[in-house]
Structure formats: structure tokens, C-alpha cells
């Protein structure tokens, strides 16, 4: 059993609440923090301490980090919407992380496991796939750029007063409970909005089950090397076409191969320049759009990630293939009436 005292930022969120559960199972004493206005229903039955704090408020964060051994930093503004200004991403994700790390160092916190994203690489270079952690970074969306700057900011504090920083870079996360990001693609298939796939394009796409992402983060607290980042993806090798076809089959939906190559597939990503008016229309109706402008840049590259570095720490995946985790995910969507 661990015996450590852990702080989880973004504790009320989809991933944050699961981190809290995992830490409790591993014997950690857990404190969660999130905005005062956050919905606490996901953690209200957990045996944790809750301290409301805003990452942009230094005094509040200092109170939250006091007397903890390790921080699991899941909190972030996660959105691919074109309607959110860069300054908002910077204030929350970058400057908020600076506040957190500064307070942690001053309060003598031992370590931080930071949530980054595989989106920091941007469209990977074809001669460097599957992508390892040292791949050049060229994030395209505002969100992914903020996560890269956030990760770099956290790493600036590595080694100060003994503070150890480790980062995880999850691929697109799926699993029961997830309704954003990769879930939007799967739900588009389930609801008949995505009915085609490219016949002549072998671009790959990596994903990770949420339970493996959470387990990897806790594993790396004990087994990861400070100052290092780790891709968190499953073992399978999917093309975008295969992912769409197999998801559709699990959902009982029909999809059709379109005779287009990768170049034409990439051109579809440029539709993102026409998406903001649609987003504005949905926003005016107080509804979520089926997809968002910045998410379409994932059509522009071979997003195939390598997990060798993570596995070399002794980590074992519970969901090594999308086939292992997608059936329960589809079942959850159906139970929630989402498709």
C-alpha cells in the first residue's frame, strides 16, 4: 500500500474522478481540487478531502497543495472550439500550471504527474512513425499548443527543491463515461453522421482506454523517471478506415468506402475554416456541435504513436486493443441514450 498523500487537480472531471478512485484503491490518501462551481457528483461518494481552488488564483492553489506528497495534474481547459480565445487557454492551462508548480515547490511537494497529450506532436513526419517521445513538436490547435507550453512550463520546475516532474501524453481517450474528443467521432458513427471512410489512405490513428491512462499515471508515480514524458496508447495498429469500419460494425451501422487518397483526406481537414459559423449557430441555440474546427486537424497526418517507453517501465495494458474496450463503451453510450 502506498501511504502517500496525493492531490488530484480537476478532480470533478471525467478523468480526475477516475484518478481519485484509482489512488484510493492503491492506498493513497487523496485530496481533490476543482473549481468551487464544479459538479462534484462523480466524487461525492469517494472517501477524499475536497478543497475548492482556481488554478489562476495563487493563494487558493497554495492552500490545496499544502502537505501533499504528489500531485496528479489533470485539470485543464479541454476544447477544440474555435470560439475560445487563445488568451483563455494560456491563462488556465499555461499560467495555471505555473501557479501550481510554483506553489508545489515552495510547499515542498515531492513530485507531479502531469497530463499532456499526444497532440503536442502535431501532424507527425511520415519517416518518424510510429511517433516516439522525442519527435519534433508542432501542435496545430490552440488546445494542443497550450498543452505543449503547459508541459514545458511544468518541466521547468523539475529538480527545484527536489521536485520531480513526469508527464504522460495520452492519445485520444475512449471508454465509458467519455463524451468528448474521440467520443465525438464514435458517436457520429453511431448516430449516422459519419458514414464514409477513405479507401486509399493508410493513415493511422492511436487511441487509449481511459482506465489504462489512469493506471499508467499512477504507475509512473512509482516507476517513471523524473524529467521524462511517456506516450500512453494501446498496442494496436489501426488505420482510420479500420477504426471507422470496426466501430460501425460493433454499433450495427453501415459505412461506405470512398475512393479517395490521403491527399484528398487531408483536404477535408481544411473544412475547419468553414466550421466556426456552424459552431456559432449551435452556441446560439445552447447546443453542442457534432464536431469542432480544431478537431479536424487530426485528419491531416499519420497519428500513430509508440508506447515502448511506457511498457519498458513494467506497465501492462488492461486494454491492449480497441476491440477489448469498445464493446463496453458502445453499451454505455446506448444506456445513456446517446445513440
For residue 337, is it within any domain? Answer: no
Question: Residue 51 CB: number of other CB atoms within 10 A?
Answer: 16
Q: Are 129 and 139 in contact (CB under 8 A)?
A: no
User: How confident is the model over 13-48, as pLDDT tens digits?
Assistant: 999 999 999 999 999 999 999 999 999 999 999 999
Q: List the single range of 28-32, 223-227, 238-242 with lowest mean pLDDT.
A: 238-242
Count, residues in the chain: 339
Q: List the single range of 53-67, 190-204, 321-335 with lowest mean pLDDT.
A: 190-204
User: How confident is the model over 71-101, as pLDDT tens digits?
Assistant: 999 999 998 887 899 999 999 999 999 999 9
Residue 165 parent element (H or E): strand 164-170
At 207 the pLDDT is 93
* pLDDT > 50? residue 274: no
Rounded-to-integer distance, Cα 195 and Cα 184, Å: 14
Q: Taking residues 247-257, report their average pLDDT.
A: 94
At 290 the pLDDT is 55
At 201 the pLDDT is 82
For residue 13, is it within any domain? Answer: yes
Rounded-to-integer distance, Cα 20 and Cα 14, Å: 11
Which residues participate in catalysis according to the annotation? 143
For residue 281, is it within any domain? Answer: no
Q: Are 210 and 178 in contact (CB under 8 A)?
A: yes
For residue 85, is it within any domain? Answer: yes
Q: Are 61 and 55 in contact (CB under 8 A)?
A: yes
Q: Are 72 and 113 in contact (CB under 8 A)?
A: yes
At 277 the pLDDT is 46
What CATH number does residue 32 fall under? 3.40.50.720
Q: Are 83 and 280 in contact (CB under 8 A)?
A: yes
CA end-to-end span of the chain: 41
For residue 249, is it within any domain? Answer: no
Q: Taking residues 6-15, report their average pLDDT.
A: 97
- Three cell numbers at 330? 458502445
Q: Taking residues 309-318, report their average pLDDT.
A: 98
Rounded-to-integer distance, Cα 248 and Cα 100, Å: 42
Task: Give the per-residue SS3 of 55-98.
Answer: CCCHHHHHHHHCCCCEEEECCCCCCCCCCCCHHHHHHHHHHHHH
Beta-bridge partner residues of 164: 111
For residue 244, is it within any domain? Answer: no
- Three cell numbers at 193? 453522421
Question: Residue 136 CB: number of other CB atoms within 10 A?
Answer: 10
At 170 the pLDDT is 98
At 260 the pLDDT is 82
Rounded-to-integer distance, Cα 206 and Cα 197, Å: 16
Q: Residue 120's domain spans which residues?
A: 5-179+206-238+306-319
For residue 173, is it within any domain? Answer: yes
Torsion region of 181: left, alpha or beta (phi above 0 gives left; psi -120 to 50 gives alpha): left
User: How confident is the model over 164-223, as pLDDT tens digits?
Assistant: 999 999 999 999 999 888 888 888 889 988 888 888 888 888 999 999 999 999 999 999
Place of cell 444506456: 335
- Three cell numbers at 33? 481540487
45: Cβ–Cβ under 8 A, 6 or more apart, which residues?
none
Find the farthest-apart pair of alpha carbons in the chain and give their distance in angstroms, rounded: 59
Q: How many CA atoms lie within 13 A of 171 on its CB side?
A: 29
* pLDDT > 50? residue 273: no
Number of domain units in the chain:
1
For residue 69, is it within any domain? Answer: yes
Amino acid at each position: 500500500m502506498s501511504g502517500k498523500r496525493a492531490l488530484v487537480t480537476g478532480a470533478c472531471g471525467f478523468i480526475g474522478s477516475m484518478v481519485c478512485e484509482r489512488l484510493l484503491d492503491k492506498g493513497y490518501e487523496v485530496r481533490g481540487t476543482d473549481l468551487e462551481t464544479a459538479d462534484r457528483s462523480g466524487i461525492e461518494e469517494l472517501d477524499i478531502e475536497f478543497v475548492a481552488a482556481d488554478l489562476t488564483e495563487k493563494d487558493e492553489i497554495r492552500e490545496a497543495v499544502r502537505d501533499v506528497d504528489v500531485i496528479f495534474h489533470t485539470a485543464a481547459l479541454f476544447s477544440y472550439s474555435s470560439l475560445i480565445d487563445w488568451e483563455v487557454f494560456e491563462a488556465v492551462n499555461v499560467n495555471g500550471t505555473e501557479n501550481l508548480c510554483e506553489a508545489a515547490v515552495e510547499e515542498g511537494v515531492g513530485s507531479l504527474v502531469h497530463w499532456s497529450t499526444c497532440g503536442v506532436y502535431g501532424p507527425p513526419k511520415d519517416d518518424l512513425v510510429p511517433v516516439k517521445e522525442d519527435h519534433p513538436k508542432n501542435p496545430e490547435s490552440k488546445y494542443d499548443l497550450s498543452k505543449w507550453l503547459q508541459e514545458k512550463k511544468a518541466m521547468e520546475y523539475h529538480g527545484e527543491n527536489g521536485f520531480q516532474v513526469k508527464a504522460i501524453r495520452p492519445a485520444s481517450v475512449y471508454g465509458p463515461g467519455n463524451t468528448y474528443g474521440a467520443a465525438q467521432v464514435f458517436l457520429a458513427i453511431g448516430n449516422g453522421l459519419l458514414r464514409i471512410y477513405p479507401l486509399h489512405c493508410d493513415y493511422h490513428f492511436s487511441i487509449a482506454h481511459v482506465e489504462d491512462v489512469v493506471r499508467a499515471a499512477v504507475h509512473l508515480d512509482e516507476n517513471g523517471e523524473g524529467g521524462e514524458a511517456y506516450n500512453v496508447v494501446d498496442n494496436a495498429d489501426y488505420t482510420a478506415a479500420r477504426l471507422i469500419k470496426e466501430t460501425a460494425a460493433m454499433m450495427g451501422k453501415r459505412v461506405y468506402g470512398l475512393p479517395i487518397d490521403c491527399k484528398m483526406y487531408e483536404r477535408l481537414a481544411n473544412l475547419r475554416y468553414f466550421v466556426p459559423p456552424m459552431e456559432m449557430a449551435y452556441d446560439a441555440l445552447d447546443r453542442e456541435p457534432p464536431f469542432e474546427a480544431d478537431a479536424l486537424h487530426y485528419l491531416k497526418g499519420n497519428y500513430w504513436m509508440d508506447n515502448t517507453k511506457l511498457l519498458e517501465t513494467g506497465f501492462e495494458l488492461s486494454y491492449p486493443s480497441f476491440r477489448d474496450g469498445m464493446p463496453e463503451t458502445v453499451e454505455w453510450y446506448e444506456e445513456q441514450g446517446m445513440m
